Chain A
Amino acid sequence: MATTAPTRTSCQDRQRRSKMPADHGRHVYAALLVGAAVAVALVAALAAWAAQLGGGAWPPVLIPFALAFLVPVAALAWLRTAEDADQLAQAPGGPGQRPIPLLDRARRGPGVPLARRNLFQDRRRVLLSTGGVAVALLLVLVLGGIFAGAMRQLTGYIDHTRADLIVSQLGVRTMHMSASVLRPDIADRVLQVPGVAWAEPIRYTTGMVSSPAGQSASYVIGYQPTARHGGPARLVAGRPPGAGEAILDRQAADQLHIRVGDRVRILGRPFTLVGLSTGGTNIANTTVFIPTGDFARLRGPTQAYVLVGARPDVQLGALAARLEAIPPGNTVQTRADFATQERRLVSDMSADLMRIMSGIGYAIALAVIALTLFNVTLAKTREYGVVKALGARPGWLAATVAAQAAWSVTLALAAATALALLLAVVIGRLNPALAIWIAPGNVARTSLVALGVGMAGAVLPIRRVLHVDPAASFRRPT
């Protein structure tokens, strides 16, 4: 039993303060340095993500993580000055003593992390609940990733045409689910318009590519093999097609078990496969290229679209207006607008399904979070009563429970994002046709909704905590 000097504790506190080493400060610094190390690891891990997004997407990805470096450094400096100020500080704020300013209090550091301690007291429960929420969020992220990946693949052909403008039949704004019919001599008329550098007509329809091993839905594009535009983005094998020959996307060729030199049926007619391209297969279909003459023999002389290159000094808006005026009138869009329309069409077609699946994912997350928090709160009811008896305000208690929800969601989000990135890489290698693109926007959106779900899941536990009777702490536990 203690037999220390008979003075008030606050006096002892004052006396000891100047002698005590800043053990805690060192712990904080160590923790911050570990945090910085974790941030380094995160940046390294996310480099793969950034690579997946392409060079242009690096800054938005790296800025938050650059901040993750700066924050610990700034915090170290801040705490250092706070500790100096601490040496000069008066006794802890109690009744009758000078109250500590809020900013000063904040600088001295946070209070006991009761929320985190309560949540992590039972590690198995945390693992199960975080795992449950993470799986639910993974479902949402991967669904969004598959959708985003499909969208990127969907416009792969358009994106690589290098056309400034695309001319189509009046009122037709897409390739998918569309049929555009332009007069056979449309390309010559387009070339006569001032400001046009080049114009390349393509013929287009959808159909099946068949081999003895199966068949695949395909965009069939008729193009002039000797032209610089309108063909596949890149040939990975073989050569451009001649009459009776075709180029197929490599992934489709693999699925159909055919090689260069094999025979395939396109639009019901036999063709010889003479080349393999890339970037033309998505989750829904593939792309096959045949000479425009063969296409005309099968489907007639009309053109579908004209890819237009503008002279460098020409305003695209004005040029588009001139092209639209070519009789009998056409629709002209920039390549970017055309791709956007294409994505919007497919997006609208599958939006309901995506919403339902995402909703299910969020509902599972909500159920898991609510159940976990409710269990934790129920198990801690008496302790919350004790804390209330000790003087905790309702807002403090509510914030504690909400912080538990935020912790659950944050951990689950981190796990789900990491797993989704891993899946994107692994599945991308195993099945290139199924591209999963984990976009920063998708992660941010999922995070926001998940935090909202977490807060919703905390409502019932918060209500329960607010109704805990502090007097219960004086009753014997049953």
Chain B
Amino acid sequence: MTTQTVTAPQRHDAVLHVTGLTKTFGQGALAVTAVAGVDLDVHPGEVVLIMGPSGSGKTTLLLMLGAMLRPTSGSIEVAGLDLASAPERRLPSVRAHRFGFVFQDFNLLGALTVAENVELACNLAGVTGTQARRRARVLLERVGLGHRLGFRPEQLSGGEKQRVAIARALANDPPVILADEPTANLDSAIGRQVARLLRQLATQDRRAVVIVSHDARLQEIADRVVWLEDGIFRELSTMATDPVCGMTVPQHDHPHLQLDQTVWWFCSTACRDEFATNPSRFTHRLPPRAAVSAARRQ
């Protein structure tokens, strides 16, 4: 039986391969385990959303994935390099070349212009001068800010700042983008735009995007949603798109229908019944994510 949604691909495809990742702060009786034995594979073109309550270990996990915090045990392989055992002096280079970071508070440098913020990330990745400036311009045009190159961050709206941050995250052409609450400081409409942009980066550029967030709206763009609680994954949902209304729904615990060895998931029985009356009316307008999933499945 098949479904129209993403199924976990094989490990050798993974750009980010995490095994038994554990982080314990303190020692003895005071020891607190923030992340306990997490396993996770993230593949090119995939958006993984990590959700969970405050203090569940989301940010700790993200810091370890981004080579900014050493795990107590376990391994993190990024493009063949184990970050957990890599020497400290190599980590800045790993961050500069293999990760793009998107922060909740944008974290743009106030002394630099928009273009220089992106150019700086190019510089850190080893590209300087004219090439860095051109790349910054291209990236900013891509996120729709080609007309704001000389602006200071303080002159931008929240959504524009986050788009600059996304352009900056792309400056080093990273295989993995790590985003920490990317929509938390944005209003609903702008947050949705930023979410779509992240989805676009995964789909079009074949980058792996890992998002840590409280924002349930991000489920709409995620291929998988991981619920982290007390440092362990409690629930792992593979997301599907309702072909009738376009809503993103987890595959479990929702109405579904099997048709020609493909399982379709719906937000409600009403959608399922409408689909059942004439499936061909809906299957031709599958969203990109479902289409990609179907291709990968084949």
Complex A-B: 28 CB contacts under 8 Å: A2-B142, A2-B143, A7-B204, A9-B135, A22-B130, A82-B130, A94-B172, A95-B79, A105-B129, A108-B131, A109-B129, A111-B120, A112-B112, A112-B123, A386-B107, A387-B124, A389-B68, A390-B101, A390-B124, A391-B95, A392-B96, A393-B92, A394-B92, A470-B68, A470-B95, A471-B63, A474-B104, A477-B105
Question: With A13-B135, A393-B93 in contact, is A111–B130 under 8 Å at CB?
Answer: no
Cα of A109 to Cα of B119 in the assembled complex, Å: 12
Which residues on the B side are within 8 Å of A82 (C-beta)? Answer: 130
Query: Beyond the given A383-B110, A394-B92, A471-B69, could you list 4 further A-B residue pairs with CB under 8 A, ordered by the A residue number?
Result: A16-B138, A380-B111, A382-B107, A386-B109
> Across chains A and B, which 5 residue pairs bring their CB atoms closest together, nearest first?
A391-B96, A109-B129, A108-B129, A111-B123, A2-B144
Give A16's nearest chain B residue, CB to CB.
B138
Which residues on the B side are within 8 Å of A442 (C-beta)? Answer: none
In the complex, what's the smallest C-beta–C-beta distance from B220 to chain A, in angstroms? 15
Which residues on the A side are within 8 Å of B172 (C-beta)? Answer: 94-95, 391
A45 on the B face (CB < 8 A):
no
Q: Are A387 and B130 neighbours in the complex by a CB distance under 8 Å? A: no
B217 on the A face (CB < 8 A):
no
B129: contacting residue among A2, A6, A8, A110, CB under 8 A: A110
In the complex, what's the smallest C-beta–C-beta distance from A114 to chain B, in angstroms? 7
Size band of the interface chain A makes with B: 35 or more
Question: With A10-B173, A121-B111, A391-B124 in contact, is A111–B142 under 8 Å at CB?
Answer: no
Question: With A1-B193, A474-B103 in contact, is A108–B128 under 8 Å at CB?
Answer: yes
Q: Are A16 and B134 neighbours in the complex by a CB distance under 8 Å? A: yes
Which residues on the A side are within 8 Å of B174 (C-beta)? Answer: 95
Q: Are A389 and B138 neighbours in the complex by a CB distance under 8 Å? A: no
Question: With A13-B138, A474-B180 in contact, is A392–B79 under 8 Å at CB?
Answer: no
Question: With A95-B98, A473-B107 in contact, is A111–B128 under 8 Å at CB?
Answer: yes
Give B139's nearest chain A residue, CB to CB.
A9
Which residues on the A side are within 8 Å of B144 (C-beta)? Answer: 1-2
Beta-carbon contacts under 8 Å, A1-54 to B: 1-2, 4, 6-10, 12-13, 16-17, 20, 22, 24-25
A100 on the B face (CB < 8 A):
yes
B35 on the A face (CB < 8 A):
no
Contact count A vs B, C-beta below 8 Å: 172
B50 on the A face (CB < 8 A):
no
The interface centre, meaning the residue of A118, A391, A470 with most chain B CB atoms within 10 A of its CB, is A391
Cα of A94 to Cα of B109 in the assembled complex, Å: 23
Q: Are A114 and B111 neighbours in the complex by a CB distance under 8 Å? A: yes
Give B140's nearest chain A residue, CB to CB.
A2
Which residues on the B side are within 8 Å of A100 (C-beta)? Answer: 126-127, 131
A223-259 near B? 1/0 per residue, CB < 8 Å: 0000000000000000000000000000000000000
Which residues on the A side are within 8 Å of B68 (C-beta)? Answer: 389, 469-471, 474
A388 on the B face (CB < 8 A):
yes
Which residues on the B side are within 8 Å of A386 (C-beta)? Answer: 103, 107, 109
Which residues on the B side are within 8 Å of A469 (C-beta)? Answer: 68
In the complex, what's the smallest C-beta–C-beta distance from B292 to chain A, in angstroms? 12
B130: contacting residue among A25, A388, A391, A476, CB under 8 A: A25
Beta-carbon contacts under 8 Å, B107-157 to A: 107, 109-112, 116, 119-135, 137-139, 141-144
Cα of A469 to Cα of B246 in the assembled complex, Å: 42
Give B99's nearest chain A residue, CB to CB.
A391
Cα of A118 to Cα of B110 in the assembled complex, Å: 8
In the complex, what's the smallest C-beta–C-beta distance from B78 to chain A, in angstroms? 10
B103: contacting residue among A83, A93, A396, A473, CB under 8 A: A473
